[in-house]
Structure 1
């Protein structure tokens, strides 16, 4: 599973050494697996660097050399051929073998101005006398996000929670790597989704609790009885936190969803119990007797409700296969 993405961008060409350092830091953190750096270099590129002194000696400009090389490599339209109503451009350029051969390209003739040549006949000078030609490793690919160049370092996380892994990686990068101006590091992938889901839960959970209390108040018509049932939620959540601690499972979005479901089960059991006790009170039974009889009469329905939900989650709680990192915290 994709655990995290470290994204780096700058307005000009990125320096791969910084990304290699981040990759090395990620490999040294506990839980890191399958750490990989996006391949951004390694593609052979032919570069032609003009010699300004030689150009000045022959009265040429950089543009003169660029135009000649552009025609030799990319071609130029020399005319058109007509076949009936159709027309085709005639493109002149060097053969493929010579375009890929630096030695052949070095012999490309560049026309010299007549004023410099000192004669009426056209004079040419080979390209290797005006520029240096070499094949060097160039960019293999250029990735962009929001108009900025980006290099990605990916990593999977096994044996620990994603949040603590990214937090440790962030501390290591901040302490050991000093990025130049124009560079920055973003943490995305599944971690970005985790942050987004956590922000949504911080809004959804309070709203759900308020709605539960509102529904209880509408059902009983009494804030006191609604509060009595509502107090079962913190006790149920305490048990859930203890279960996570005993099994050494970190809190996650799946665990948050499980806490919401647990709140529903706790409210349902309290609703069954309090409703029956109120019925006994309306029939004239004393409070103490109504509580005892209500607890005894509704013990079986409450246990059945709780056991159905608990036993249904047992396969998820003991799962160790695919999807266990989602199912176990939920159960």
Structure 2
């Protein structure tokens, strides 16, 4: 029932437009347009010996047109098409007077063998998976898409009574977000696992690989906090930013631990190697963090086309690089010293 479908769509549109964050809601109204309906009368057609094909050809010629010849002007050939004038195609009286020739050569009016009337019919029939549907378009401003959809869904279920066979679902950006989140649940653990495997292959020690991996949550904390400060929701670009941030944090940890290990191989004690290695790597790490942060500032404050993708990514990277830099220089050296001393005590309990 198109009338019922349009009524339900109108109620849903009002609700989502009044949901905080909903802007510019609209839907393609099904609407109705006048159409000419021609119903053949079988008894009259048999009486006058008129075939359905003859009737179809007459109506097709009157409304769609029929090519009856070609006009030649020099090298230009123009087809000659015969049909009713546009203002008479919706005129019931004119349609009823269309001449129809019988097999015996006589002439009849179309109205003698068919009922012609003007009706209102739906303008277009939109379908998806063979089901009729109405698409409601809305922009979400000032809040995250997932939160908006959750609240709108609750409001719709509370306030709209759907007849049997009618239902609603959200698509567009929300659907893409849900699909991307499903992919990220696979990509992120896989990426972290590969990073851990590469670290282990480089150092040959699960202990030091786990120590370097501590840099990841230290960096992620900064990214989450930066999103919170700017009031930004988690988006796909933010997820990509967290993946990139994890790589940056692990790289910083590898460089620090590698340098400390080199000092120990040179004969330094654990504590001396940790202190000297941290102080030596302080300036390069600060310079790297400064350059990385400043490089993402234009993206973080962008307002033009594509800014909705650039800002979350840049915000995550800037916040994560800042916290990762300082926390890595504080937490990782302390943990390294504590773990290596404990390991040494277990290996040499008499010392």
Normalized per residue, which structure has more helix? 2
The alignment partner of 2:117 has SS state of strand
Superposed CA deviations along residues 117-155 of structure 1, whole A, max 9, x for unmatched, are xxxxx998984998572342x222223333333321111
The alignment partner of 1:154 has SS state of strand
Matching residue of 1:264: 247
CA contact (8 A) 2:13 2:136 kept: yes
- How many angstroms apart in 2 are the aligned matches of 1:306 and 1:20? 52
The alignment partner of 2:137 has SS state of strand
Distance 1:320 1:126, change over 3 A: closer
Query: Structure 1: 5+ residue runs without aligned partners?
Result: 1-9, 82-90, 112-121
Give the counterpart of 2:94 among 93, 100, 104: 104
- How many angstroms apart in 1 are the aligned matches of 2:133 and 2:193? 44
Instruction: Quote the offset at 1:223 in angstroms.
Output: 0.6
- How many angstroms apart in 2 are the aligned matches of 1:19 and 1:322? 31
Which structure 2 residues correspond to residues 135-146 of structure 1 after superposition, within 5 A?
Answer: 135-136=119-120, 138-146=121-129
Superposed CA deviations along residues 37-91 of structure 1, whole A, max 9, x for unmatched, are 11432322123578x9xx88x7979xx8977864542249xxx99xxxxxxxxx9
When the two structures are aligned, how many residues end up with a matched partner?
304
Matching residue of 1:133: 117
CA contact (8 A) 2:140 2:148 kept: yes
Is 2:134 the counterpart of 1:158?
no
Query: Structure 2: 5+ residue runs without aligned partners?
Result: 63-67, 70-80, 315-351
TM-score scaled by length of structure 2: 0.72
Which structure 2 residues correspond to residues 133-212 of structure 1 after superposition, within 5 A?
Answer: 133-136=117-120, 138-212=121-195
Instruction: Quote the offset at 1:30 in angstroms.
Output: 1.8
Is 2:59 the counterpart of 1:73?
yes
Give the counterpart of 2:218 among 213, 235, 259: 235
Instruction: Quote the offset at 1:262 in angstroms.
Output: 1.4
- How many angstroms apart in 1 are the aligned matches of 2:287 and 2:88? 83
The alignment partner of 2:36 has SS state of strand
Superposed CA deviations along residues 85-130 of structure 1, whole A, max 9, x for unmatched, are xxxxxx998776654311233456999xxxxxxxxxx998984998
- How many angstroms apart in 2 are the aligned matches of 1:124 and 1:158? 64
- How many angstroms apart in 2 are the aligned matches of 1:96 and 1:259? 62
Give the counterpart of 1:313 among 293, 296, 320: 296
CA contact (8 A) 2:96 2:109 kept: no
- How many angstroms apart in 2 are the aligned matches of 1:97 and 1:317? 59
Is 2:5 the counterpart of 1:15?
yes
- How many angstroms apart in 2 are the aligned matches of 1:71 and 1:183? 40
Instruction: Quote the offset at 1:284 in angstroms.
Output: 1.8
Matching residue of 1:302: 285
Normalized per residue, which structure has more strand? 1
CA contact (8 A) 2:99 2:107 kept: no
